[in-house]
Chain A
Amino acid sequence: SQQGEEDPQALSIQEGENATMNCSYKTSINNLQWYRQNSGRGLVHLILIRSNEREKHSGRLRVTLDTSKKSSSLLITASRAADTASYFCATVASYNAGNMLTFGGGTRLMVKP
């Protein structure tokens, strides 16, 4: 079974709007990462947040992490048509759990021009 579960599975918004995607996980983590995938091929690493961090920014991306709720969110502000892609969260388990990298099912984001 997957460590991360993402919500929503699909999201459709207008260009310029903000997009929020959520991820929940089950076990203790070392860090949580978000990836983007275009056209079902290679994933691109977007941002990494460590278990002792609560919020991180990178350009138009904002990631939050709540370890008490075992959840994270990815916010894309002022979305563009080029942001259309699938977004995956992935957790790296704590060292004593073998630092396994496990992916959620992904959110398919469509940004309409």
Chain B
Amino acid sequence: GAGVSQSPSNKVTEKGKDVELRCDPISGHTALYWYRQRLGQGLEFLIYFQGNSAPDKSGLPSDRFSAERTGESVSTLTIQRTQQEDSAVYLCASSRQGFGGYTFGSGTRLTVV
């Protein structure tokens, strides 16, 4: 596609439920990031995929968070047993090789009630 696509755009879920967020990067982009942004805050790194290398999961805040990427295409971020503090915008970004500028999706706004 022409850009990075994220779905859903908005998600409201009950505390304790699992959610899955999806990111479709630009075709051919080997590098993919997930970030979390709380209201009025900066971007908090979650996980980084680069080609076929093992992902850098050092930013995942707890074992309730996990992410997968199929080859160099779609990535899913899963949050299990959601908590209210998980409420945030989750942003995905991709880049051709990892050293250039990144293209961001519009994000998924997650609200845990």
Interface residues of A (CB under 8 A from B): 2, 30-31, 33, 35, 40-45, 48, 88, 90, 92, 98-106
| B58 to A: closest C-beta gap in Å | 9
Contact at A103–B35, with CB atoms within 8 Å?
yes
Given contacts A104-B42, A105-B41, contact A42 B91 (CB under 8 A): yes
Measured CA separation A15–B43 after assembly (Å): 28
Measured CA separation A33–B93 after assembly (Å): 14
Give chain B residues whose Cβ lies under 8 Å from the Cβ of A35: 104
Q: What mask results when residues 26 to 70 of chain B are scored 1 for a CB within 8 Å of chain A, else 0?
A: 000000010101010111010010100000100000000000000
Give chain B residues whose Cβ lies under 8 Å from the Cβ of A90: 102
Give chain A residues whose Cβ lies under 8 Å from the Cβ of B41: 105
Measured CA separation A44–B105 after assembly (Å): 9
Measured CA separation A35–B98 after assembly (Å): 16
Interface centre among B89, B104, B106 (most CB of A within 10 A): B104
The 4 A-B pairs of least Cβ separation, nearest first, read A45-B101, A105-B42, A103-B43, A42-B104
Give chain A residues whose Cβ lies under 8 Å from the Cβ of B101: 33, 45, 48
Give chain A residues whose Cβ lies under 8 Å from the Cβ of B45: 100-103
Give chain A residues whose Cβ lies under 8 Å from the Cβ of B107: 41-42
Give chain B residues whose Cβ lies under 8 Å from the Cβ of A104: 42
Give chain A residues whose Cβ lies under 8 Å from the Cβ of B98: 92, 99, 101
Interface residue from A31, A40, A43, A102 paired with B93 (Cβ < 8 Å): A43
| A52 to B: closest C-beta gap in Å | 13
Contact at A41–B106, with CB atoms within 8 Å?
yes
Give chain B residues whose Cβ lies under 8 Å from the Cβ of A101: 33, 45, 48, 93, 98, 102
Add 19 more A-B contacts to A42-B104, A42-B107 (CB < 8 A).
Answer: A33-B101, A41-B106, A43-B93, A43-B102, A43-B104, A45-B104, A48-B101, A88-B43, A90-B102, A92-B98, A99-B50, A100-B45, A100-B56, A101-B33, A101-B93, A101-B98, A104-B42, A105-B41, A105-B42
